[in-house]
Amino acid sequence: MGAVMHQVSEENLNVAHEELAAVLGSDCVLTDGEILREHSSTKWSPAPPNQSPALVVTPGSTSDVSEIMKICSRRQIPITAYSGGTSFAGALTATRRGICIDFQKMDKIVAVHDKDMDVVVQAGVGWQDLNKVLEPRSLFFPPDPGAGARIGGMIAMSCSGTNAYRHGTMKDWVTSMTVVLADGTIVKTRNRPRKSSAGYDLTSLLVGSEGTLGLVTEAVLKITSVPENQHVGLAAFPTTRAAVDAAVVLITGGLPIDALELLDSYSLGAVNSSGLSGRHWKEKPTLFLRFSGSKQAVEDQVSMARQAAMTNKCETFETSGDIDEISAIWGVRKDIARCLAAMKKDPSDLFLSADAAVPISSLADIIDWSLKIIREAGFAGSTVGHVGDGNYHASVVCPKNEEDKAMKIIEEIQRKAIQLEGTITGEHGIGLKWRDLLVEE
């Protein structure tokens, strides 16, 4: 099979514009230059101006998406998809121009089935908005990637977040989905059963396919009960190695806590400098822990965590069950990318990040090694991550003119993860940036 020859001449795109406007309405076909750039280049994943789509379209239904795909298939016009715009790794970059489908209007929660513990949502629903609707029912949807992420992109990238240690990743919470294929064919992968052995598991195949197999327009998602009696813990250590060693003890000991996260000293320095937190943090490698359960269960979890921390040179260990304090403390972990990005000395500086994941026994070694090569290269860098499942992010903020040098460091870290029988991406996806390294993996 030969290479696909895309047809992106002005003439072909102009005719497609007319056909799309006839199907969707002219107000749903956008051509403003700033809008086009915003749909391919973001602060997390910048792209050059010549890699923006020629048109952005805003469908309102699965049938609309099908018609768009039929037009583009017939005219051989490439397509990119956009939901929350929070992805890394160049996933939005329109290298061949073409048309971007923005799911902003497909933001309806179609149904909430309390007794079945599932919901039906369109692709443009945000996970935070979904949880606001579920909260009064004492239910929630666990995957918690970056703020602003939406279900279509979360499925495409197979995301996770701080809840993954206890609740698993996105693939564990998708029951079925409606997908539009490249030729406009509409496929529903399954109905709403909690289990099925009927035919191919198309749902699992599509989660993490990053739009290469089809575009998700609707999904059936599992939900669960809100954890009771939530508490958070903070354990500060003299070194990153000591913090990771303590985390490994907790993991291998089978402690049933909700989340286990790491912020190193540079990260907490970035938090202090950003002013985004209401407290001043000790700039020490710190484990962020979250507990839930009965009063006795939480007391037991805290006791075991404290003991593991203290045997690994923990300097301070504190806990809180205050709702506002829990929100403030965990908010720091959730906002860490924004804090690190705020360390840019110039607006043109770049924020680059690795997303490696390795077997737990290799975690301390690769984090130590990552910090060493970042410092040897003359960069300030940090390691933060979901140490509970072996996934961590080594980050570098650098001037634009040192991008190549910094990217070599990030690539070295990704390759090191492969050598340690890990992966180049635990949750951010491949996008454009990691295609060659995916071949190596």
Length of the chain: 441
pLDDT at 42: 86
- Is the confidence at residue 2, as pLDDT, over 70? no
The stretch 187-197 carries a mean pLDDT of 95
- For the segment 302-328, what is each residue's pLDDT rounded down to a tens digit? 999 999 999 999 999 999 999 999 999
Six-digit token pair at 294? 């009965």
- Is the confidence at residue 166, as pLDDT, over 90? yes
- For the segment 377-406, what is each residue's pLDDT rounded down to a tens digit? 998 889 998 999 999 999 998 998 999 999
- Is the confidence at residue 3, as pLDDT, over 80? no
374 Cβ contact list (under 8 Å, min separation 6): 380, 381, 394, 396, 409
pLDDT at 274: 87
- Is the confidence at residue 21, as pLDDT, over 70? yes
Question: Contact at 8 Å (CB) between 343 and 270?
Answer: yes
pLDDT at 93: 92
- Is the confidence at residue 134, as pLDDT, over 70? yes
Nearest 5 degrees, angle CA 307-CA 310-CA 313? 155
pLDDT at 4: 72
- For the segment 71-113, what is each residue's pLDDT rounded down to a tens digit? 999 999 999 999 999 988 888 999 999 999 999 999 999 999 9
Nearest 5 degrees, angle CA 424-CA 425-CA 428? 150
The closest of 86, 85, 207 to 146, measured between CA atoms, is: 86
What string of DSSP letters covers 284-339? S-EEEEEE-SSHHHHHHHHHHHHHHHHTTT-SEEEEE--HHHHHHHHHHHHTHHHH
The stretch 210-217 carries a mean pLDDT of 97
A 10 A CB-CB count for 170 gives 25
pLDDT at 210: 96
- Is the confidence at residue 5, as pLDDT, over 90? no
3-state secondary structure 68-94: HHHHHHHHCCCEEEECCCCCCCCCCCC
A 10 A CB-CB count for 298 gives 19
In 55-92, which positions are buried (b, 16+ CB within 10 angstroms) versus exposed (e)? bbbbbbebebbbbbbbbbeebebbbbbbbbbbbbbbbb
C-alpha distance from residue 275 to each of 267, 335, 346, 352 (Å): 13, 12, 18, 22
* Cα atoms found within 13 Å of the Cα of residue 80, Cβ hemisphere only: 28
State the pLDDT confidence band at 122, using cuts at 50, 70 and 90: very high
pLDDT at 351: 86
- Is the confidence at residue 1, as pLDDT, over 60? no
State the pLDDT confidence band at 272, using cuts at 50, 70 and 90: very high
In 125-163, which positions are buried (b, 16+ CB within 10 angstroms) versus exposed (e)? bbbeebbeebeeeebbbbbbbbeebbbbbbbbbbbbbbb
Question: Contact at 8 Å (CB) between 145 and 169?
Answer: no
A 10 A CB-CB count for 212 gives 10
In 321-350, which positions are buried (b, 16+ CB within 10 angstroms) versus exposed (e)? eeeeeeeebbebbbbbbbbbbbbeeeeeeb
Question: Which ranges constitute the DSSP H helices of 88-145?
Answer: 127-134
Q: What predicted TM-score, i.e. pTM, was given to this entire model?
A: 0.94
The stretch 321-339 carries a mean pLDDT of 91
**Burial class, 264, CB count within 10 angstroms (exposed 0-12 / middle 13-18 / buried 19+):** buried
Which single residue is written with the structure tokens 């984090």?
367
Nearest 5 degrees, angle CA 411-CA 148-CA 341? 45
C-alpha distance from residue 72 to each of 8, 184, 303 (Å): 10, 9, 59
- Is the confidence at residue 299, as pLDDT, over 90? yes
